[in-house]
């Protein structure tokens, strides 16, 4: 899915759904395919595996 909107750790989810880490903010690679469920207005957390700020994308 090209041009997916990214959401940064600390931002609020625009809609309820499943989200996954696209990449880490610090540029490091990640091997985290964990999906999380967020409700509209929930805050995006750090990456579950690295505990680092991350860019999230909607997965479903």
The vertex-38 CA angle with 53 and 20, nearest 5°, equals 50
Across-strand partners of 19? 36, 58
Higher pLDDT, 11 or 23: 11
Model pTM score: 0.85
Per-residue pLDDT band at 3 (split at 50, 70, 90): low
Tallying the residues shown for the chain, one arrives at 60
28-48 confidence digits (pLDDT tens): 776 767 899 999 999 999 998
| Domain-wise residue ranges, the chain | 6-58
**pLDDT at residue 57 greater than cutoff 90:** yes
């Amino acid at each position: 899915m090209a041009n997916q909107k990214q959401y940064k750790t600390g931002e609020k989810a625009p809609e309820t759904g499943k989200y996954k880490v696209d990449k880490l903010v610090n540029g490091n690679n990640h091997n985290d395919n964990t999906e999380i469920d967020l409700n509209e207005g929930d805050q995006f957390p750090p990456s579950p595996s690295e505990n680092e700020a991350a860019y999230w994308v909607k997965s479903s």
